[in-house]
Structure 1
Amino acid sequence: MTARSLALAAAAAITLAVPATAVADTPPTETDALAQAKQALLWQVQAGQSAQTKATAQAVKDAARSVVAEDTALCKKIDQLARQLGVSVPDQPSTDQQGWTAQLAAESGADFDRDFVTRSRRAGGELFTVVAAVRAGTKNDPVKQFALAAVDVVGKQLTAWDATTLVDTAALPDPPAPTSTAPVVPTPQGADPQVPQVTNAANSASANQTATDDRPGPAAVLAGLVLIVVLAAATVRIIRRVVNSA
């Protein structure tokens, strides 16, 4: 076998070794979402580990302990998914998140408890929005399975933070405004669905026109009067004959 043939065979072997689900199967938006989720989870793990020793309220310590365990497991799932998809994810929180960590490190007591819970609640809400959007729109089964698990875990964490009663709700972002949609107008079978309002308007006009045409016109009224007179005269003649014959 020539050197060229050996090179082609090696290239083919490498190609076959690549997982079936490759980067091309993962839209950039999903890759970005995995990266954002990984950074948020990493920050929550680091902050939660700190809170287990710095927090004063037992409810905060308990919530932090659960979050650390759950988010560590989710981080491992993201790493496995990234390897399967052939993409890279961060191994450190974002610059802003590291700034939050520095701010919390300078606090203690009740101030730490309140700010830690509020930061965690806000970060959890943003993470929930990301994974929920991925779950709703992805067509990639492995990504869908991860997003489904993450939605469940993060949703429970939000409830745990709220249960501490320490969340500063004024520091949370406003929920997104609902998207208004036009009411759905039923389309008759066989009609063009693109013009339901025009069709309905035409039907309404036709119905009104039909109702107007049902009223008798002047000629019909005159003919009716003539018919009544003729019948009345014939009736009178019949009555007279009966009376004369009697």
Structure 2
Amino acid sequence: MFGPRNAGLWFRPTLVVAAALATTLAVPGAAHAAQPDPFGGAVPGDVSTGRGVLPPANNPPGAGAVVENAIPGAGETQTRFGPLDDTDRVFLVKVRQAGLWERPTCLHAQERAGSERVKEICRILASDHQQLDEEGRFVARQLNVAVPDQPSAEQQAWMREFWPMSGHEFDVTAVKWLRFAHGGVFAAIASIRANTRNEMVRLLAERANLMVNKHMSLLESTGLVQYDSLPHAAIGAPAVALAAAKAPVPKDSNVLRLPVVALAIVTALLALVSIRRVVRGS
């Protein structure tokens, strides 16, 4: 069977199979080719060229670089609306970035979403963020704060994930990230509203607080919010420790020390008198 004549006949199909197998093994994931970039290499949500869904920032001259991280009280400057620090500046940046990714997302939903309810909610969100962005840019110009023309890297990643999707898959994924983002910024806005010393920032934070709360309720009305994937609230031991660290204390602890000692002496004398009366009576 495996004589000289039949050896070539047997070996040729074997080479064909081996070559095919080698080709498959040499290209990992050949059956799962990488998906093309839905934005064609562009930055999702970028409006710097003037072709985005929001106007460019047009930061005032001398505004400095965009502040992305802040320590309360850092970089404080005086304005005619009150003191301004880096936490206020980061708040204005976050308001801008929220519109840069949520407005295009919600406009995109009009073509890709499967649920009419999701489309309706996204129309509301898109309109609200257009208004809030206009107000935020106005406040930033008044306070000489630079705001960006691109969403954060994390927001861009969310957009790349659900942009090619459609139907129910788009609804679930888009609502997941929209609700996640609103929940995260809601706590930050409340902190700014409570603690800022700048009047204009306080007014914008109050406006944003009402809007974000409304948006969370709308997104939850879809029934698509995955509550198990949301982060836990930042309460408990850290909050208690922070409250204890900032608890007011008397300016002079001796103010309380003398009354306490006097009360202890009076109590001891009364007890001694009572004991003597009991002894005499017996």
The TM-score, its normalising length taken from structure 2, stands at 0.62
Q: How does 1:105-124 map to 2 (within 5 A)?
A: 105-124=163-182
1:92-127: CA deviations, max 9, x gaps? 111111111010113222121111111100111122
Determine if the alignment matches structure 1 residue 141 to structure 2 residue 194: no
Overall identity of the aligned pairs, in %: 28
Determine if the alignment matches structure 1 residue 29 to structure 2 residue 87: yes
- d(CA) in 2 for partners of 1:23, 1:144: 10
CA pair 23-90 structure 1, distance change in 2 beyond 3 A = farther
- d(CA) in 2 for partners of 1:103, 1:124: 18
Determine if the alignment matches structure 1 residue 38 to structure 2 residue 99: no
User: In the alignment, is the contact (CA less than 8 A) between 1:52 and 1:61 conserved in 2?
Assistant: yes
- d(CA) in 2 for partners of 1:111, 1:105: 11
CA pair 203-113 structure 1, distance change in 2 beyond 3 A = farther
User: In the alignment, is the contact (CA less than 8 A) between 1:59 and 1:164 conserved in 2?
Assistant: yes
Tell me the amino acid that sits aligned with residue 58 of structure 1. Answer: E
Ranges in structure 2 where 5+ consecutive residues have no aligned partner:
1-77
- d(CA) in 2 for partners of 1:127, 1:164: 20
- d(CA) in 1 for partners of 2:159, 2:218: 20
RMSD (Å) for aligned C-alpha atoms? 3.1
User: In the alignment, is the contact (CA less than 8 A) between 2:82 and 2:199 conserved in 1?
Assistant: no
What residue is the counterpart of 1:230 in the other structure?
none
User: In the alignment, is the contact (CA less than 8 A) between 1:134 and 1:147 conserved in 2?
Assistant: yes
1:210-238: CA deviations, max 9, x gaps? 332223549x83xx99xxxxxxxxxxxxx
Residue of 232, 237, 250 corresponding to 1:174: 232
What residue is the counterpart of 2:215 in the other structure?
157
CA pair 192-85 structure 1, distance change in 2 beyond 3 A = closer
- d(CA) in 2 for partners of 1:28, 1:127: 16
CA pair 117-207 structure 1, distance change in 2 beyond 3 A = farther
Determine if the alignment matches structure 1 residue 131 to structure 2 residue 189: yes
1:123-147: CA deviations, max 9, x gaps? 1112222221111111111111111
What residue is the counterpart of 1:210 in the other structure?
269
Q: Which moved more, 1:148-157 or 1:31-40?
A: 31-40
| Offset at residue 198 of structure 1 (A) | 5.3
Tell me the amino acid that sits aligned with residue 212 of structure 1. Answer: A
Q: Give the number of equivalent residue pairs.
A: 197
Secondary structure of the structure 2 residue equivalent to 1:167: coil
What residue is the counterpart of 1:239 in the other structure?
none
| Offset at residue 37 of structure 1 (A) | 2.0
User: In the alignment, is the contact (CA less than 8 A) between 2:99 and 2:133 conserved in 1?
Assistant: yes
User: In the alignment, is the contact (CA less than 8 A) between 1:55 and 1:112 conserved in 2?
Assistant: yes
Tell me the amino acid that sits aligned with residue 215 of structure 1. Answer: S
CA pair 212-29 structure 1, distance change in 2 beyond 3 A = same
Q: How does 1:84-123 map to 2 (within 5 A)?
A: 84-123=142-181
CA pair 24-177 structure 1, distance change in 2 beyond 3 A = closer
Tell me the amino acid that sits aligned with residue 273 of structure 2. Answer: D
CA pair 106-196 structure 1, distance change in 2 beyond 3 A = farther
CA pair 207-114 structure 1, distance change in 2 beyond 3 A = farther
What residue is the counterpart of 1:49 in the other structure?
107
Secondary structure of the structure 2 residue equivalent to 1:214: helix
The TM-score, its normalising length taken from structure 1, stands at 0.70
Structure 1 stretches (4+) deviating beyond 6 angstroms? none
- d(CA) in 1 for partners of 2:203, 2:115: 35
